[in-house]
Amino acid sequence: MPIVQLGREGRWTNYHGTGTCEAATRFALRSGDAERGRDELAAAAREVREWLAAAQAAGRHVRPLGAGWSPSNINIASHCWLLHTRRFNRCFRIAGDDVRPGVDAASLMLVEAGALVDEVSDKLEAQGRSLWTSGAGNGQTFAGAAATGTHGSMVAHGGIQDHIRAIQIVTPAGAQWVEPTAGVMSDDFIAATGSQAVRDDALFAAAQLPVGALGVVTALVVSSVPRFLVRPIQNLRRVDRRALNWLSAGEFRRFSAAYALDRDPDFVQMIVNPYKPFKRPAMLRFLYREPWRDDYPRATPGELGAGYDALSLLGRLLDDYPWARGWLLQFAMKLGYAGGPDVQDPPVYGSWGEGLDTHRPLADLFNASVTIDRADLAYVFEQICGVYARHGGSTVVTLRFMERAQGLLAPARFAHNAVIDFDGPRSQRTADAYARVVERLDAEGIAFTRHWAKSCNLDAARVESDYGEDFRRWCAARDRLIPDPAHRRLFASDVLDGLGLTC
């Protein structure tokens, strides 16, 4: 599996068309045909280490790339060497003698860094297993989604990086196999991957969410749960302030009983028009977990209500006709979001993976978010809608809920989190509206974080302030994993330097 160069130095644009690397030299790491995953990883580790040495000798920074999915500029680095891992995407079963005593090998899968969330999900489901959370789409590489803290949306779980149990990371000094202190894989397995075993809780907590600054992630060990079905309910309902208080308090059963089924929901989402939010219907989506059965009727992702991109249907109309913005937003919600099954419809079921879909490119769509302590939701929601009422802006406001996520730099860092997304047409007007929301939350003293892979307006001072001691622990872990400053600089970029993640 030699690393191959892809053409001459030139321009590379990310999947969504929102960022471009200039004067970049592109390379690709591709899977081989070894029968055992450990042999694949050993060969990949050698290739990547040699490639890093060549980049350093050429005086170039490096940037690993998966699907190039992030709409933000987090994966943008000009005048550098880019390493595409998308075709390094095999997945392998793990045998009982590959793990340490007491570890359930059947729940684990060895995943090469370029495997998409969709591919990992399909492989697991073919084995009677399932992921338990992921983002709204599945077109990211699993490693890339974890590296940027992609939030899940299951109310009792954290982020997608919570699935990770071990990580192979390659730096110029060699390959390191990073696990929690208790350990996961056997010493013989780790040695066969060409890696040095590093069993350390602090280093593992940093490596679960590396933001591309800790080396080249080449493989992951991903955990799973027994396969299950979900039943979606999706409708348009007017939500009042009392119901918003239920969500703030985590009374999801009460909210579900009022607007869908009188059951504990596993997923709750509310998409709101910030103009007169309590007078216009919100789009509500619930998922209810069901026991697996093989004879359920198959449904398409659309029939399951997957996909959150309807605003792109209206494009720049939302910006060009500000006097009709509230009506147009409501029209977009009705047109694009209300196609899923409602309570009175015949039940529809699907696996967790079947309920996800791959977004088409979102070059004309603005994506940003804030994550807050769920207890602050009702007050923060009022502040956000007040900003839109006074200053305009063309995004809907989407609310989702999750527990604290693993990883030192996980945006979902509160015990109970409300994730608030802002999706609308990409324009200066939209960006200004988000900036005003952030300013308002700061003025009110509301603690919040931002998604690494979306528009976030972050700088090093703000990162340090938002993550506090966890940021300092992450930096200490970085320096332990890559002790040579010259090696750390190899992974630098203007963006990561500006965030204080490389030095």
Helices (H), 113-185: 117-126, 142-147
| Number of C-beta neighbours around residue 361 at 10 A | 16
The predicted model gives 269-277 an average pLDDT of: 89
Tens of pLDDT along 335-362? 555 466 899 989 999 999 887 766 666 5
Q: Report pLDDT for 355.
A: 79
Q: What is the pLDDT of residue 310?
A: 44
Between 92-96, 332-336, 390-394, the lowest mean confidence (pLDDT) is in 332-336
pLDDT at 316 over 70: no
CA–centroid distance for 10 within its chain:
28
- Nearest CA-CA partner of 91 in 40, 27, 133, 28: 40
Cα–Cα distances in angstroms (integers) from residue 338 to residues 30, 311, 314, 341, in the given order = 41, 13, 16, 8
Say whether 398 sits in a helix, a strand or coil.
strand
| pLDDT (tens digit per residue) in 440-469 | 999 999 999 999 988 778 899 999 999 999
With b for 16 or more beta-carbon neighbours within 10 A and e for fewer, the 141-173 pattern comes to bbbbbbbbbbbbbbbebbbbbbbbbbbbbbbbe
- For residue 275, give the nearest of 395, 425, 439, 422 by alpha carbon: 395
More reliable by pLDDT, 406 or 331: 406
Query: Which residues, in sequence order, are CB contacts of 306 under 8 Å at separation 6+?
Result: 355, 356, 357
CA pair distance 9, 253, nearest whole angstrom:
55
* No. of helices (H) and no. of strands (E), the chain: 14, 21
Task: Say what the pLDDT of residue 315 is.
Answer: 45
Percent of the chain residues topping a pLDDT of 70:
91
The pLDDT assigned to 2 comes to: 79
- pLDDT computed for residue 58 by the predictor: 97
Measure Cα distances from 466 to 20, 70, 238, 408, 437 in Å.
Answer: 28, 21, 34, 11, 16
Cα angle at 421 between 357 and 352, to 5 degrees? 30
Average pLDDT over residues 188-207: 98
Q: Does the pLDDT of residue 124 top 80, yes or no?
A: yes
Element holding 478 (H helix, E strand): helix 460-481
pLDDT digits (tens, 9 = 90+) for 72-82: 788 889 999 99
* Average pLDDT estimate for 305-323: 51
Chain centre to alpha carbon of residue 172: 27
* Residue 356, token pair as written in the block: 């996800």
Average pLDDT over residues 139-168: 92
Mean pLDDT of the chain: 90
Residue 431 binned pLDDT confidence (cut-offs 50, 70, 90): confident
The Cα–Cα gap between 317 and 306 comes to 24
Give the domain ranges of the chain.
4-226+472-486, 229-449
Give the residue among 410, 415, 434, 411 at the shortest CA–CA distance from 374: 415
For the domain spanning 4-226+472-486, the CATH number is 3.30.465.10
Residue 180 to residue 175: CA distance in whole angstroms: 17
Q: What is the pLDDT at residue 308?
A: 47
Q: Give me the phi and psi of 116, to 5 degrees please.
A: -70, 155
8 A C-beta contact, residue 311 and residue 336: yes
Query: Cβ of 188: how many Cβ atoms within 10 Å?
Result: 10
* Contact criterion met (CB below 8 Å) for 54 and 109: no
Q: How far apart are CA 125 and CA 192, in angstroms?
A: 28
Quote the CA–CA distance of 277 and 421 in Å, as a whole number. 15
Whether residue 45 has pLDDT greater than 80: yes
CATH code at 229-449: 3.40.462.10
Domains 4-226+472-486 and 229-449 share a fold: no
Q: Which secondary-structure segment (H or E) carries 87?
A: none
Q: For residue 327, what pLDDT is reported?
A: 60
pLDDT for position 354: 87
User: Is the pLDDT at 331 greater than 70, yes or no?
Assistant: no
Q: What is the per-residue pLDDT across 199-258, written as a single tens digit (0 to 9) for each? A: 999 999 999 999 999 999 999 999 999 999 999 999 989 999 999 999 999 999 999 999
Q: Does the pLDDT at position 160 exceed 60?
A: yes
